[in-house]
Structure 1
């Protein structure tokens, strides 16, 4: 068996560490310029669409795929599941549970980035914890100060007026986030419901500071196998 592990999440790295010594390779999309070293042989970059992915599976002799990409990488996941089904390759998605509000949280669930403007008054200071890949979808936040945090330094100007980048590499503690939000005077926090304990610190900080959170709901899942724990993913591999 040759396993392809689609990574990009902290859990993917945990899975990779447990698979050391097995016939497996981890693939990263290359979303960051200097990705963290991985415990498995690593390939970085896209596959070149469906045809490129099929070619890679064939050339690399892949016999099973474990998809541990970001919960919002739904296009990659749907494509991968479809190709694996057509080729009769075992496939499973690791999907960590989403965040749930706790007492004291002030969350508003929205379905898309464009909906945020309807809930944020003019003059507000908005902190985006959504990354740069979907940043242009917030272009209708005119009249607000928009701060987008990203890991890598920007390679161009902010895509719309009234915004700026803030460079920072996780993890961030609750104390770090509280100090940052107070310094910036944040009124609204916008995040995707990615789930996971490390990234929840910004939500805890928002709760403690009374900051409103716009929570972008996850895209709907398809009809493919899903596990929601690292142990479940490893058990799937062991059962192959």
Structure 2
């Protein structure tokens, strides 16, 4: 029996999962991308780009496509999509698994200030002018426009719209993974005095934290939003094991075991 799987992606884990199952006859998968990145790498399995129209739209898609399983491998900060996935799976009666990479944890030598959101991150920079590296993507820059006393270096995969930037901002477009030596060089060359980032976890962008620790640069760490209470694993390997169990269970049922 071939299981029909929808992967909600846009992350390293989603890409790794797609590569792992691309030649697996037990699974017929589609990878869904939000379309927020202008030139995403072409997936090795069939894919779609764009939203579904909320939880009901996703539920309708799951039912229309006769999807057997749903894996949420979206970014840890994709709170709306995660909520929609949980609700859509419930409405459609489709088993859901979330892949949630572990959070970063402060280590000896780190100087972290943990905040709840971007507005709090901007406030935590304080009133005195600083040179700040923002590695928060391109959609949540508005709070920093309200703190124009700072000089910002904004790094994101795609360049933000010019009108979304704080007045004193330099843009660097780059896609991870990043090497620690390169991150130290970036911090040093730009005279960075504070780093603002999201607690995304994973290895692709962790080097900036190691570089900040080595150079004594304070980090404003934005905490993850709450995630739905659904079955979750931390690794692609665990997700593959989950798929294998479903395939074996369905195959056994078909055989009447």
Task: Tell me the TM-score normalized by structure 1.
Answer: 0.94
**Aligned residues between the structures:** 240
Deviation digits for residues 170-216 of structure 1 (CA, Å, limit 9, x no counterpart)? 22111111111111110000111010012101101101111000111
Aligned residues of 1:158 and 1:164 also touching (Cα < 8 A): no
CA root-mean-square deviation: 1.5
1:24 aligns with 2:26: no
User: Which of 40, 46, 55 is the aligned partner of 2:45?
Assistant: 40
Q: Residue in 1 aligned with 2:169? A: 163
Which stretch has the larger CA shift, 152-161 or 41-50? 152-161
User: Which of 152, 155, 165 is the aligned partner of 1:149?
Assistant: 155
Deviation digits for residues 135-184 of structure 1 (CA, Å, limit 9, x no counterpart)? 22333222111221111234444433232322122221111111111111
2:47 and 2:244 map into 1 onto residues whose CA distance is: 21
Q: How far is 1:56 from its partner? A: 2.1
Aligned residues of 2:136 and 2:198 also touching (Cα < 8 A): yes
Match of 2:205, SS? Answer: helix
Q: Residue in 2 aligned with 1:6? A: 8
Aligned in 2, Cα 1:158/1:86: closer, same or farther, shift over 3 Å?
Answer: closer
User: Which of 57, 63, 71 is the aligned partner of 1:66?
Assistant: 71
Rg larger for:
2
Which stretch has the larger CA shift, 118-127 or 64-73? 118-127
Match of 1:23, SS? Answer: strand
1:222 and 1:140 map into 2 onto residues whose CA distance is: 32
User: Which of 195, 203, 211 is the aligned partner of 1:197?
Assistant: 203
1:11 and 1:108 map into 2 onto residues whose CA distance is: 27
Aligned residues of 1:158 and 1:165 also touching (Cα < 8 A): no
Q: How far is 1:105 from its partner? A: 0.8
Q: How far is 1:46 from its partner? A: 1.5
Unaligned runs of 5+ in 2: 247-257
Deviation digits for residues 15-74 of structure 1 (CA, Å, limit 9, x no counterpart)? 111111321111111121110121211111222223432332233221210000101111
Which stretch has the larger CA shift, 32-41 or 150-159? 150-159
Q: Residue in 2 aligned with 1:239? A: 245
Task: Tell me the TM-score normalized by structure 2.
Answer: 0.88
Q: Residue in 2 aligned with 1:215? A: 221
1:171 and 1:161 map into 2 onto residues whose CA distance is: 28
User: Which of 109, 116, 127 is the aligned partner of 1:111?
Assistant: 116
